A and B are shown apart, each in its own frame.
Chain A
Amino acid sequence: MSARITGDDVAHVAKLALLDLDAAQVEIFTGQLAAILEHAKDVEALDLDDVPPTSHPYPLVNVLRADEVGPTLTNAEALASAPQAEDGRFRVPTILGEAP
């Protein structure tokens, strides 16, 4: 398989996953993830070249319903648990450095 996971890898992955880790946490997680990935190496010895992947227990096809209007949440219900809402929409802080 691949080389052992490094602290730089963990810091990069944390950034992709929108998580903020300090240096001490990066070190701890790196050791733990390395041990887990090392354990996963028992599959390395298997000859899997001709084996197709399985992503799901059953072969799934698209499941579609009739295109008819049914009951849905109201706008107010959908927004009831929002941290912040305004004018029937979710409100978030500044995006892309624009003024709010």
Chain B
Amino acid sequence: MSTAESAIDIAAAIRAGGRSAVEVTEAHLARITEHEPTIHAFNEVTAESALAAAAEIDRAIAAGEPVGPLAGVPIAVKDNLCTKGIATTCSSKMLEGWIPPYDATVVQRLAAAGAITVGKTNLDEFAMGSSTETSAFGVTRNPVDHTRVPGGSSGGSAAAVAAQFAPLALGTDTGGSIRQPAAFCGVVGVKPTYGLVSRYGLIAYASSLDQVGPLANTVADAALLLEAIAGHDAADATSIPQEAPRLVEHLDDGVAGLRVGIITELMGDGIDPDIIAQVRAAAEALAAAGATVEEVSVPAVSHGLSAYYLIGPAEASSNLARFDGVRFGLRVDAPTTNEMMVATRTAGFGDEVKRRIMLGTYALSAGYYDAFYGKAQKVRTLICRDFATAYERFDVLLSPTTPTTAFEIGSIADPLTMYLNDTCTTATNMAGDCAISVPFGTDAAGLPIGVQVLAPALGEATMFRAAVALEAAAPALAQGEPDHR
């Protein structure tokens, strides 16, 4: 079989008995065996447990037992989501070899839906980065161009989907960590509404911003996966206690009359002109499909990045205090407990994690709290207000996902320059809203461009409708262009 098939088609074929889950899993594992040495999307490939789970699906179908909507569909899971009995590392020496004693809620839901986890994907250490270059276990290569980064922090998940190692992947998005790698690798990435997907078993980076979400080759596959993992979870106090929106059944409802606003602040300085041109083309495509399109100013979006790089690190400095060599993970021996903790944290964390812990500690420290963290929280209020005002007049907003296309491995050494990758994405996390990146055309070098559709909290159904329309209108890859996948 071809590994290019969609999750929806694979699930349908398996349910109908036309294909076995074991056969599908074997085909994807064979593709991983062939290309993973080059791409390095995974920290661990779980071939044995994947084949066992697939055999169980085949047995259930043969016995006429009901199976879930993702029965037999391979999926790659970001390595900051806890998997019982399977190492979960956050791509950090701090957790190298750590075996969680429980499954994250999303991992439980994947199993209940019948999905087959084929491996744990590489990420920037503790999800802090935009390139997977901060991983303690080596960089992931972009399947479209092996000299370039896949983006991050969910770079392994985006690369796994782009390389057809699995039609689906789970990522996490704190400031753009699903959408940016999706854009860089030419796949679909969704940051769901804050609280829509449980974070129980997600190793926290910044708790008021983190959200788990899908990556896929098609918008419909992403919707199918989001439906499978969304919904209230009593184990997560921030989980929204109401029914999750229905998505798949509304995908083809069309965009006639949909009010679309292009965010003015994200269409100028610092954004690659090729990307701006594709966002305009995407807007025209939506207009041609019956939507009304206008520009709209969302002023506080311009300050999203500054506020994010105070709030995110502040929360990280608190969350990562738990890694102290006492209960799990690395311990570097020393005569006293305090010395042991210092030695452990110094050896266990990489430079980017240390940088954010120190930045956050500084922003929260006496004398600087009001000037930095306090002010960032007020900017957050402005961002929420400005989005709310825009959504009075518009159903969805449109912008680039990233300021540039995928950059070359090793080309960005300066942390602040790296942070600018998140220019278009952090504001959504600050507001708790949802957004999706849809592949739409390429730049002059043939590298994928992502167009971002933003919607208010729990506006996923409308967001997905617009995304489907964009996908249908997206320019085909140029004739004769080499397919590196």
Contact = CB atoms under 8 A, between A and B. Distances in A.
A83 B342 contact: no
Contacts of B303: 42-43, 46
B419 interface: yes
A35 B374 CA distance: 20
**Interface of chain B, helix or strand or loop or mixed?**
helix
A21 B329 CA distance: 21
B400 interface: no
A79 B430 CA distance: 37
A83 B238 CA distance: 31
Contacts of B328: 81-83
B362 A33 contact: yes
B336 to A, nearest CB: 5
A18 interface: yes
Interface string A21-61: 10000000100110111011111101010011111111010
A41 B334 CA distance: 41
A33 B358 contact: yes
Interface in B346-385: 346, 349, 354-355, 357-359, 361-362, 365, 367-368, 371-372, 374-382, 384
Interface string B272-315: 00000000000000000000000000000011011101100000
Contact of B335 (A54, A90, A94): A94
B382 A46 contact: yes
A46 B379 contact: yes
B476 interface: no
B158 interface: no
Contact of A81 (B240, B329, B380, B431): B329
Contact of B345 (A18, A35, A84, A90): A18
A60 B238 contact: yes
A69 interface: no
B355 A29 contact: yes
Contact of B432 (A2, A58, A73): A58
Contacts of B472: none
Nearest to B315: A55
B12 interface: no
Interface residues of B, number: 71
Interface string A6-24: 0001100110111111000
A30 to B, nearest CB: 10
A5 B414 CA distance: 18
B271 interface: no
B223 to A, nearest CB: 22
A39 B377 CA distance: 16
Contact of B237 (A9, A48, A63, A92): A63
Given A93-B333, A93-B335, A40 B309 contact: yes
A54 B384 contact: yes
Nearest to B240: A58
Contacts of B338: 18, 95
Contacts of A48: 375, 378-379, 382
Nearest to A65: B234
B66 interface: no
B307 to A, nearest CB: 7
Contacts of A58: 194-195, 238, 240, 432, 457
A87 interface: no
B381 A57 contact: no
A95 B337 contact: yes
B377 A90 contact: no
Nearest to A40: B306
A80 B372 contact: no
B358 A94 contact: no
Nearest to B194: A57
A84 B345 CA distance: 17
A81 B98 contact: yes
A19 B357 contact: yes
B371 A51 contact: no
Interface in B178-217: 194-195, 208
B343 interface: yes
Contact of A16 (B194, B361, B414): B361
B445 interface: no
Contacts of A35: 414-416
A56 B402 CA distance: 25
Contact of B381 (A54, A60, A81): A54
B381 to A, nearest CB: 4
A97 interface: yes
Contact of A39 (B333, B355, B416, B430): B416
Given A93-B336, A93-B339, 4 more contacts: A5-B362, A20-B342, A57-B432, A58-B195
8 contacts: A14-B358, A29-B358, A46-B378, A48-B378, A48-B382, A57-B457, A73-B101, A93-B335
